[in-house]
Amino acid sequence: MEILGLDIGGSGIKGAPVNIETGQLTAERFRIPTPLPTKPESVANTVKELVDHFNWKGPIGCGFPTVVNNGKCMTKSNIHKSWVGVQVDQLLSEKTGLPVTVINDADAAGLAEMTFGAGKNKKGLVVTVTIGTGLGTGVFYNGILIPNFELGRIYYKNGEIIEYFAADSARKKDNLTYSEWGKRFNKFLKHTVRIISPDLFILGGGASKKMDKFENEITVDVPVMVAENKNEAGIIGAAVAAYLKDK
């Protein structure tokens, strides 16, 4: 069975059909720049363009870069404020004429990892972290997603949100070495342990590829693994979400 997975990001909207049994993309990934400003109608038109590229006629799963509650956009995050309150699944279904399932993009990346990657068959409380512009997190208990755990958005000190301090974008902005930044990221992990006591962290996103440069700074007493699904995680996980919705 194949489902079209879409990953809506701040800079690009990308997608590909996914074999839901293997997690493999069955066609080359296609990407279109995210329209600016990122308003609902223009993004929906771009999604339609991507769907038409694949001449797709089946179900669609979509990762979306905000808190999503039953298909509705709840927060602005890094997209246009006019999205708040929009029933995203309904908007995209009307635009494409196809059934669309929408979940948070970090949850989608986590689903890919828990289904086909390092988290497969892992029990207990698992936190997946996508390290990039922000710190996207997915939380799973015995393999089941607990949606919308925005751990990167928790307050750190002086009212600062922790992802502004510890995401990969902070490393670049403050011109830090990986070792210097790793100390910051470790504070995020320690903060998370203090709150929810996970059994395992799985690190993905761009910075995870440089794990050897900062792993010595990670001191949490919780196992840490590197994600196996790299750039395609959001696409694969979005397709998995659509599949699970019908189960």
Question: Is residue 8 pLDDT above 90, yes or no?
Answer: yes
Task: Report the first-to-last Cα separation within the chain, whole angstroms.
Answer: 14
| The one-letter amino acid at 235 | I
Q: Tell me 12's DSSP state.
A: E
Q: Measure the CA–CA gap between 210 and 216, rounded to whole angstroms.
A: 12
Segment 230-241, tens digit of pLDDT:
779 999 999 999
Residue 246 confidence (pLDDT) above 90 = no
The residue among 139 and 229 whose pLDDT is bigger is 139
pLDDT value at 99 more than 90: yes
Considering the chain, what is the average pLDDT of its residues?
95
Phi-psi region of 73 (alpha: psi -120 to 50; beta: other; left: phi over 0): beta
What is the reported pTM?
A: 0.94
Q: Which of 9, 53, 47, 3 is nearest to 23 (CA)?
A: 3
Domains of the chain: residue spans and CATH: 2-108+232-245 (3.30.420.40), 120-226 (3.30.420.40)
Q: What are the tens digits of pLDDT across the range 30-84?
A: 999 999 999 999 999 999 999 999 999 999 999 999 999 999 999 987 789 999 9
Tell me the average pLDDT across 165-171: 95
Q: Residue 2: pLDDT band by 50, 70, 90 thresholds?
A: very high
* pLDDT number for residue 207: 87
